[in-house]
Amino acid sequence: MGKQIRKTVGRFTLIELLVVIAIIAILASMLLPALQQAREKGRQSSCSGNLKQIGMAAQMYSGDANDLIVPAGFGVKWSKVWGWYNLLGPYMGLSNLQNLGAEGGEVVYPKIFSCPSVTRESYDENGWDALGNVRGSYGINSSSDSGAGVYLAGSFEPCGKITNFRNASKTFLFSEGYWQLSRYKLVQTPNDRNSDGKLLPNPHGEARNVGYLDGHVEFYRGYLPTFDWSNKNAQLFYLGRMY
């Protein structure tokens, strides 16, 4: 009889298996930050797209309102209040928002007004209330200098005209945060909260998106600038002019 040849089946030893697991763990730890960065880059891009659409809607609103900037808030202070969310909704296919704002009623969370990097749970943590029964994570520049006749998005006060601003590309109108972003309350250094205690974290790492009066959007590193009359850049950023 011929000799029988036995086939041997290779098996991992325990040490070899542990080595393979360790290599996989190392590769995963190297790839995970890159994947997280890629996801955040995608969220930042979506957020920028939201602000571009919001900026376009604001331009269309102004075109229908004799060049006036959309008001931050209006109505009977603080009852039966409407705001810029309600007014811009119809320009983005959300006509139902225009009828919200009376006392009571259901609070809605439109996707277009929500930065993908800001969770709904954080609204309460940050102290961000609803405006006109709409809750979002973008705010509008409601700064003004009534003495000089300079107004942006008025909050229960007059609104300015876009055509009055020569530096529209350097004057901010929208950014992530509480629904109202006013220079009067952005005096912290850094501006990680306003003077009412509303938190204003940077949603994209150490940066945020900023939409300007002319409709363009920029990736802005750091918190919103601290308003200071001695800072010409801050004056231009909030009021569209230097004094």
Instruction: Read off the pLDDT of each residue in 184-190 and give the average, rounded to a whole number.
Output: 90
- Euclidean distance between CA atoms 39 and 128, whole angstroms: 25
What confidence score (pLDDT) does residue 101 get? 66
Per the structure block, which two tokens stand in for 23?
A: 């290599």
* C-alpha separations of 205 from 104, 208, 216 in Å: 36, 8, 21
Percent above pLDDT 90 for the chain? 60
Q: Is the model's pLDDT at 3 over the cut of 60?
A: no
The DSSP symbol for 193 reads B
- Euclidean distance between CA atoms 117 and 126, whole angstroms: 14
- If 0-12 CB within 10 Å is exposed, 13-18 middle and 19+ buried, where does residue 79 land? exposed
The DSSP symbol for 4 reads P
Q: Confidence band (pLDDT; 50, 70, 90) for 7?
A: low
- Euclidean distance between CA atoms 49 and 34, whole angstroms: 23
CA angle 157-65-95, nearest 5°?
Answer: 95
Percent above pLDDT 70 for the chain? 90
What confidence score (pLDDT) does residue 77 get? 66
- Euclidean distance between CA atoms 159 and 238, whole angstroms: 14
More confident: 167 or 2:
167
Q: Name residue, tokens 């974290």.
A: 201
Cβ neighbour number for residue 157 with a 10 Å cutoff: 14
The DSSP annotation for 21-76 comes to HHHHHHHHHHHHHHHHHHHHHHHHHHHHHHHHHHHHHHHHHHHHTTTBPPPSEEEE
More confident: 98 or 203:
203
Are the C-beta atoms of 136 and 110 separated by less than 8 Å? Answer: yes
Chain segment 17-40, per-residue pLDDT in tens: 788 888 888 877 777 776 667 787
Q: Is the model's pLDDT at 91 over the cut of 60?
A: yes
Residue spans per domain, the chain: 43-239
What confidence score (pLDDT) does residue 35 get? 67
Long-range residue pairs from 156-160, CB within 8 A, at least 24 positions apart, any chain:
156/73, 156/74, 156/75, 156/77, 159/68, 159/69, 159/70, 159/71, 160/68, 160/69
- Euclidean distance between CA atoms 36 and 52, whole angstroms: 24
- Euclidean distance between CA atoms 230 and 227, whole angstroms: 9
User: 3-class DSSP state for residue 147?
Assistant: coil
- Euclidean distance between CA atoms 100 and 154, whole angstroms: 19
Chain segment 121-168, per-residue pLDDT in tens: 999 999 999 888 999 999 999 998 888 888 999 888 889 999 999 999
Q: Is the model's pLDDT at 233 over the cut of 80?
A: yes
More confident: 71 or 9:
71
